[in-house]
Chains A and B, each alone.
Chain A
Amino acid sequence: MKKWLYLLIIVILVMTMVLTACGQSQPAKDTVGSTTGDQQKQDEQKQDESKENVGSEKAELRIFWWGSQDRHDRTIKVIEMFEEKNPDVSIQYEFSGWDGYWEKVAALAAANNLPDVFQQDYQYLAQYAKKGLLEALDPYVERGILDLSDVDESSIVGGKVDGKLYGINLGSNAPCIVYDPALFEQAGVPEPTPDWTWEDYMNAAKTIHEKLDIYADRTFPGGYFHGLKHYVRQHGQKLYSDDGTKLDYSDDKLFEEFFTMELELVKQGALPMPDERLEVKSVEDEFLVTKKAAMAAVHSNQIVAMTKAANRPLKLALLPKHKDQVKEGMYVKPSMFFAVAATSKNKDKAVQFVNYFTNDIEANKVLLAERGVPISSKVREALMPLLNDAQKEMFNFMEVVISNSSPIDPPDPPGHPEVDKLLKNLEEQILYGQLTPAEAAIKFREEANKILAKSAQQ
């Protein structure tokens, strides 16, 4: 008790000292406080005014997404359109780059303050859904607030966790290969068909490298993760078990074969070493764009950005098939979702917004497939005449994917980001000759199972 009293006296004392001693004026704390206070008040006033303008009782929605300048501008415009149509809703939006987005969402989740609608990613969706942070949307579909009648099941299923719909796909894409047809022709290599196999890919890569003295590809198809996942799927297995507690595929041979192929190309110089790959950090210095390679592993929606950067026509190809494949490895992947927070106070309005985003033709004319191919067939039709060549290629390619695919696996388990990192490290160690593919396969199984088991405990 005495101590606290002591402390209080000190506080008062220091205040008087600050204000009196030697009569010098200090930039006192009060002024500062009031300045920020004023700022605050002004902002509040502004908000009040805008409220008054439209009328009484408004449902407030908060929306949060990541993206680039282009996406911000388009999304904000659609939000304004929605507000115009729904004067009873006022939307407070925030956006950020990919950098920092998930940190902020985590903080918001920890403080129980998630936005009503926020962008979700395939690798985090299951985690958030399983923790009860997201609202299951099936009832809203039944009630007709969310209209998915024009949407193919294959575009919906990626947003399901344990059989319930938690995320609405904002655009479909698929891990694939983007290539430069001119370079293929120059090397005398036939362009990939939907039926090309790993052997075809290997041969094409070697020929391109020998004939043109450039790299064939920056990474192996699909990169280390999607590539391996694809390869495992082709053999009728899954990378992760359905409950996400362990690796599902049983044969380490698959891992070994996959990375042996990559190692072979790297050794021949048809693929760059990781040190060189690392230097590509943006679309603009992608090797394909700078003509240092003829192919690149991408998600199909990236062709738009890449064509713009390269300023010449590019095309998309499926990941190679396996000659003895049990099923198709390709699948339709949701590029990103909108999810509704379980804590939202205006869930109906939130879902209504998601519905508008998904189905409204005018809104989608503004969004213009920037997040990937829209899932509604009506929207796709309406957009067709507005698309540029790269976007058309993306739309058409998705049709090819749909007819050469098998259903998507369940969303990645909570341990996925760490497993992904592990796999990346192992790939690098293989390519630098520190581990053989066989050794890496065993290590991957051990470590990944550990990670998955641990993260499943939570």
Chain B
Amino acid sequence: MPHQCTDCGRTFEDGSKEMLSGCPDCGGNKFQFIPADAVDESVEANSPGDPPGRSSSAGAVSKAATTVRDWVGGGSDEPDRPSNRDRSSGESPPGEWPKSATEDYDTPAEKAAARTGDEPAAGANASATADTTADASTTDTATADAQSEAASTTHADPDSEDGTIQARTAGDEDNAQASARSDVVSPDELPEGTATPPADASEADDANAAESGAATDPEAPGVAGPSPDVTDDRHEAADPADTQIEDRPDLDELRDELNQQFESIKILNPGQYELNLMELYDREEYIISLREDGRYVIDVPDSWRGDD
């Protein structure tokens, strides 16, 4: 179940419609996307206020590889993540690594993975490269750090237009962590990069410690903060959250309406329809006209009864 409500933790299958109008349980409209193999780590990773500890390098590295694969593969297996593709296609010149690819990695190792994945210019086998680099980086943190510095300086400028990135000037490690932690909330609530205290040196130490100590224990205590799941979340949750805020008042009705509209009449092609009789029977309003573009005209119950 790749989608998870960041408020109550309820999870949804990939492609689920239930969350289209917010979480049915708590009404929350921020969700994170969790690849199935990372679900177990998501709960610990989910508290933005946690100290900037290190999540396991194993999880981080695999996440880096996964994300790199997503980018390189065009995200074809992630139909629910249009923002990913938008960014990669819209803001980065060909061959340059998309901006969030570098800043989203919160450990030097991840950056290294991303960076190394970048250098083959997003070729078809870049994901394989990323994988091997990710593995290597767990034992070669010095190189990873160096590469991460290089990566961040290279890509600092294109990011400046995005509100979540503005803190980058204060230092790459800080910014990466800041965005990683803060992207479970809306960009408005994003703290300044300088407000995220750890200096580069301590970050590197953290990273080293995590990579050497927690490589075999993905759930190591005290390493809650900026886990890869949170970084991944930014693509999924932050953008839709902004647009859904004004929809809050009638979430229940909206959800019901959406679900019913999806299910009662399926327009396969113009002139070809599948009907869900139970849904048609159960719905209170009444479809009086179908449009070729898939829309209906409905008669809402009040006006129906008013006629009667």
A binds B: no
Task: Name A residues whose Cβ lies closer than 8 Å to a Cβ of B.
Answer: none
